[in-house]
Amino acid sequence: MNEAQPAAESMFSGKKPLVFALIAVVAGLVVALVMNPEKKKSAAPPVPAMAGGGAAGEPKKSSGVPVISDLLPGLEAKVAANPNDMNLRILLAQTYGELGQRDKGLALMRKMRGQFPMNQNVAFVLGAMLMKGSAEADQREALKLFEESAKSDVPNLENTSRLYQGQVMVKLGNAKGAAKLWRDYIAKLPKGDERRKQFEAELVKLPVS
């Protein structure tokens, strides 16, 4: 496991689609961190899936439940007080992204990338943030970052990296490359592995046979 690598098993072992769970997870972690300062989180929240299914909006405020934006100052204070806590910093970067402050989130992740250039989790999170943008340069950078994070010894980090990598290829107009990448990955998985279905479903959507 690479330098200062967060608890990746916790980040990528869940079976629930990440895009549907993200807002609830981020909100829950921010509430827990700000309302219960003595409780330290062991892992950062999952990263949103490819923008295409539509980015989820900011959670609405219900009676007695603050929205993420209300808790942001507290989370920023936690990070300032614990500057070496990688998981808190990742959570803050993702929270910026969910609140529409993408530049601040990317700046924080790029700083971490500079500090931990060999950390595959940092590479993955930065790649996932970049792929939500529209610039071709962002997509190509994300592609390289996912190639790096796919080499992780954590199986589901490799799985998600390959999934996102193919999605970026499709955005760049390389559907055939995505199809080959996903088929090659499926071939590595044991028969009956549930992850096969996820990639097979993506293959069906491609405009190539």
User: In which band, very low, low, confident or very high, does the pLDDT at 19 lie, cut at 50, 70 and 90?
Assistant: very low
Q: 119-133: buried (b, 16+ CB within 10 Å) or exposed (e) per residue?
A: bbbbbbbbbbbbbbe
Q: Is residue 158 pLDDT above 80, yes or no?
A: yes
Q: Is residue 26 pLDDT above 70, yes or no?
A: no
Q: What residue type is 136 in one-letter code?
A: E
Q: Is residue 31 pLDDT above 90, yes or no?
A: no
Which among 2, 11, 7, 27 is positioned nearest to 160, based on CA atoms?
Answer: 11
Q: What residue type is 32 in one-letter code?
A: A
pTM for this model (two decimals): 0.72
Helix-helix angle 120-130:136-149, to 10 degrees: 150
Please, what sign has the CA dihedral across residues 192, 193, 197, 199? Answer: negative
Q: Are 79 and 85 in contact (CB under 8 A)?
A: yes
The CATH H-level superfamily of 8-205 is: Tetratricopeptide repeat domain (1.25.40.10)
Which among 68, 60, 52 is positioned nearest to 132, based on CA atoms?
Answer: 52
Q: Enumerate residues 6+ apart whose C-beta is below 8 A from 130.
A: 106, 138, 139, 141, 142, 145
pLDDT tens-place string over residues 165-174: 999 999 999 9
Residue 207 or 159, more confident: 159
Q: Mean pLDDT across the chain, nearest whole number?
A: 78
User: In which band, very low, low, confident or very high, does the pLDDT at 91 lie, cut at 50, 70 and 90?
Assistant: very high
- Domain coordinates of the chain in residue numbers? 8-205
Q: Is residue 16 pLDDT above 50, yes or no?
A: no
Dig out the tokens for 47 from the structure: 């990263």
User: In which band, very low, low, confident or very high, does the pLDDT at 68 lie, cut at 50, 70 and 90?
Assistant: confident
Q: What is the pLDDT of residue 207?
A: 83
Q: What is the pLDDT of residue 25?
A: 47
The partner residues of 62 in beta bridges, in order of sequence, read 65
Which among 3, 7, 25, 6 is positioned nearest to 16, based on CA atoms?
Answer: 25
